[in-house]
Amino acid sequence: MKKRQCCQMKTKKRLKKSKNVPVRTCLGCFKTGVKLELIRFVLQGPKLVIDPLAEKEGRGVYCCKSRKCLQQMVRKKKRLIVAFRASIQEKEIETDCAEEIYEIP
């Protein structure tokens, strides 16, 4: 009986590992979520650009679709610099596209 339970436990672990769902972290609230539920942003030059289909080249950051998370991401530009591993100044990053989503004041 113990041997059978042990085999069942191993197969359950294998099934959990085989379901590979990409998980990303929100840059606003630092909560993890499924990649498809988050908005992806890419840095092209000094501009932050929305990448809805994840097709654009380069490093991307993810953010929840909530207004609070977007506001946090836009306000704390140092997070963007660290996430993108960019060598540009905080003042140079243009975050117009993030503000357009919810018309952040």
Half-sphere exposure of 19 (CA within 13 A, CB side): 6
Structure tokens at 92: 């140079």
Both tokens assigned to 102: 């919810």
- 9 inside domain: no
Q: What CATH code is carried by the domain that includes residue 41?
A: 3.30.1230.10
Closest of 59, 56, 75 to residue 67, by C-alpha: 75
Give domain status of residue 14, yes or no.
no
Q: What is the pLDDT along the chain (105 residues), one digit of tens a residue?
A: 455 455 445 444 544 554 788 999 999 999 999 998 999 999 888 888 888 888 899 889 999 988 889 888 888 888 888 888 887 777 777 777 766 676 554
The parent domain of residue 30 ranges over 21-102
Q: Is residue 27 part of a domain?
A: yes
Question: Is 62 part of a structural domain of the chain?
Answer: yes
What's the whole-model pTM score? 0.71
**Is residue 81 assigned to a domain?**
yes
pLDDT tens track for 74-99: 888 888 888 888 877 777 777 777 66
Report d(CA 32, CA 69) in Å as an integer.
Answer: 12
**Gap between the Cα atoms of 22 and 6, Å rounded:** 29
